[in-house]
């Protein structure tokens, strides 16, 4: 397999940050027992043998050309031999199976996420047929769809978005008039590791004789009220200098968090969504002031009232992590990949949870997906006569990932490497299958999509209504432009 590199392989997963203790109060559950308990939230086993229904076609050694950013290179790039890395070997097996099945060769180019977007844009504008598939940065790459540089997947006959290897909620953030310009799912396993979650320090729970929250999650009772109750009065000045400081080696926190992560993960976990769709799948902006005010009140209480460590400076993100690794925080909001990157040598044992729901009436836990992940798209320069070939190989890569890569990722990379107990492994299944996408975050990260972050940085207890109102005119115009861009693409 020929592959061209423009960046060091070592840059791969470590970009998520670029974008992207106990409570003595009443009402907490009794200590966990070993008996069998009813569960209202389960992660059902998937049928990994589901056929894709693709025609068995021999393409006679034809090359399938992929361009990917360093964010998602591990989704498709491999060495030509097996290694000790389980994810790498599963992706290699997937690639070889697809190559052998359809008699093709994969050619992969890796570059920075900005360069990938620019390369595709230039290729389309010049009419140069250079790439069959692109892994584009979610936020940076959104401009490709807005500028008519990618094809709607509805023009790719063998890509079946109803199949389980495509993310079920992706349309909420990327579909207009039931046409998708970008997709995600099992074809991009690294995107799973960049999904939001909550880590908790088991030692701090044990010291306060508290039950680990796993049962609350399974029973659908892991809510913001529970998180607030757990963290109330935990943040304390332990070195006696009169302040609770991140720079102390002794002060403890109920929660440690970062301003480019927690405002988004908490907002979407609580059921927030800034853009709404009408019956024709056309987005519009109609602020849900009452709902968002209630959501923000809980976020404010969990972070500001309960004196969480809320880091507002990019230069100090590692301090957020260090506080948890050093055993000085009960909870830590982050992405799943932070466990593998930063916590494998942590002395205190920890567990992983989905972000809490707004209340028990909320149907599902919801997981925010960091904007640094990549989405797949097909450059508009792909000619009509080549779309059958392109769509067959895309669908084959996705279905074979579902059969081969996801089981390896789920059983080994996401579980054994990143967790220390079976319960956390079950939690991960819930986290990655309940990811949500908001068109406002994807297309308006700076602006309407960041209002919770801005209010928290100001420690503003109110202001939701005025903030949302101030966004109305600009957001409506932006949505109108996005819809027009999609409509223009559909005419091509």
CATH number for the domain including 305? 3.40.190.10
Residue 124 lies in a domain: yes
DSSP-derived secondary structure letter, 315 = G
Q: 327 and 231 in one domain?
A: yes
Q: 137 and 212 in one domain?
A: no
Residues lower than pLDDT 70 in the chain = 1-49, 340, 413, 416, 445, 489-490, 492
CA angle 136, 371, 445 (to 5 degrees): 110
pLDDT reported for residue 49: 61
pLDDT reported for residue 147: 83
Q: 188 and 333 in one domain?
A: no
Alpha helices in 166-312 (DSSP H): 170-174, 202-207, 214-218, 224-231, 262-269, 289-300
Q: Determine the structural domain holding residue 403 and report its residue range.
A: 3-18+55-192+371-418
Q: 204 and 144 in one domain?
A: no
Q: 400 and 351 in one domain?
A: no
Residue 32 lies in a domain: no
pLDDT reported for residue 448: 79
Residue 321 near residue 174, CB atoms below 8 Å: no
Provide the domain count of the chain.
2
Residue 424 lies in a domain: no
Q: Residue 488's CB: how many other CB atoms inside 10 A?
A: 12
Residue 311 lies in a domain: yes
Residue 140 near residue 154, CB atoms below 8 Å: no
Which residues make beta-bridge pairs with 257?
310
Alpha carbons 488 and 263: distance in angstroms, whole number: 34
Residue 348 near residue 215, CB atoms below 8 Å: no
Last residue of a domain, which of 355, 386, 418? 418
Residue 166 near residue 306, CB atoms below 8 Å: no
Alpha carbons 119 and 113: distance in angstroms, whole number: 10
Q: Residue 143's CB: how many other CB atoms inside 10 A?
A: 15
Q: 414 and 341 in one domain?
A: no
Alpha carbons 21 and 306: distance in angstroms, whole number: 12
Whole-angstrom Cα Rg for the chain: 23
Q: 209 and 304 in one domain?
A: yes
Residue 41 lies in a domain: no
pLDDT reported for residue 332: 97
Nearest to 67 by CA among 19, 107, 17: 107
Q: 389 and 295 in one domain?
A: no
Residue 391 near residue 156, CB atoms below 8 Å: yes
Structure tokens at 387: 């779309």
pTM reported for the whole predicted model: 0.84
pLDDT reported for residue 460: 95
Q: 411 and 466 in one domain?
A: no
pLDDT reported for residue 54: 97
Residue 36 lies in a domain: no
Residue 423 lies in a domain: no
Q: 295 and 185 in one domain?
A: no
Alpha carbons 348 and 420: distance in angstroms, whole number: 11
Residue 138 near residue 372, CB atoms below 8 Å: yes
pLDDT reported for residue 489: 65
Q: 404 and 260 in one domain?
A: no
Residue 47 lies in a domain: no
Q: 347 and 247 in one domain?
A: yes
Alpha carbons 346 and 350: distance in angstroms, whole number: 8
């Amino acid at each position: 397999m020929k592959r061209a590199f423009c960046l060091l392989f070592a840059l791969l997963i470590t970009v998520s940050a670029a974008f992207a203790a106990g409570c003595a109060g009443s009402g907490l559950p009794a200590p966990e027992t070993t008996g069998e308990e009813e569960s209202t939230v389960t992660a059902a086993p998937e049928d990994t043998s589901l056929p894709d229904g693709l025609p068995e076609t021999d393409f006679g050694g034809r090359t399938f050309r992929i361009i990917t950013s360093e964010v998602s290179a591990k989704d498709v790039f491999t060495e030509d031999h097996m290694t000790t890395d389980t994810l790498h070997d599963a992706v290699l097996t997937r690639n070889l199976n697809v190559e052998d099945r359809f008699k093709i060769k994969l050619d992969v180019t890796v570059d920075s996420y900005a360069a990938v977007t620019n390369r595709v844009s230039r290729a389309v504008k010049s009419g140069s047929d250079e790439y069959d598939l692109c892994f584009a940065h979610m936020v940076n790459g959104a401009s490709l769809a807005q500028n008519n540089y990618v094809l709607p997947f509805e023009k790719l006959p063998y890509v079946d978005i109803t199949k389980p290897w495509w993310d079920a909620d992706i349309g909420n953030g990327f579909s207009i008039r039931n046409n998708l310009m970008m997709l995600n799912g099992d074809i991009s396993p690294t995107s799973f590791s960049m999904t939001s979650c909550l880590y908790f320090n088991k030692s701090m729970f044990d010291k306060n004789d508290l039950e680990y929250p796993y049962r609350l999650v399974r029973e659908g009772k892991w809510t913001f009220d529970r998180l607030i109750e757990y963290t109330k009065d935990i943040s304390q000045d332990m070195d006696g200098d009169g302040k609770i400081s991140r720079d102390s080696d002794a002060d403890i926190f109920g929660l440690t968090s970062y301003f480019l992560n927690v405002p988004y993960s908490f907002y979407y976990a609580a059921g927030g969504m800034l853009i709404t769709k009408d019956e024709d799948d056309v987005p519009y902006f109609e602020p849900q002031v009452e709902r968002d005010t209630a959501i923000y009140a809980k976020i404010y209480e969990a972070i500001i009232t309960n004196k969480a460590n809320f880091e507002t400076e990019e230069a100090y993100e590692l301090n957020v992590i260090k506080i948890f690794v050093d055993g000085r925080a009960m909870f830590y909001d982050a992405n799943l990949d932070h466990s593998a990157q930063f916590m494998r040598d942590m002395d205190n044992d920890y567990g992983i949870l989905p972000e809490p729901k707004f209340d028990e009436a909320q149907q599902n836990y919801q997981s925010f997906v960091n904007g640094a992940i990549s989405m797949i798209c097909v450059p508009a320069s792909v000619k009509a006569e080549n779309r059958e070939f392109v769509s067959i190989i895309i669908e084959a890569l996705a279905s074979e990932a579902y059969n081969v890569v996801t089981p390896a990722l789920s059983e080994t990379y996401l579980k054994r490497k990143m967790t220390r107990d079976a319960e956390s492994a079950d939690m991960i299944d819930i986290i990655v299958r309940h990811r949500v996408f908001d068109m406002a975050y994807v297309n308006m990260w700076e602006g309407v999509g960041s209002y919770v972050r801005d209010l928290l940085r100001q420690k503003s207890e109110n202001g939701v209504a005025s903030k949302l109102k101030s966004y109305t005119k600009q957001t409506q115009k932006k949505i109108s432009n996005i819809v027009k861009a999609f409509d223009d693409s559909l005419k091509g």
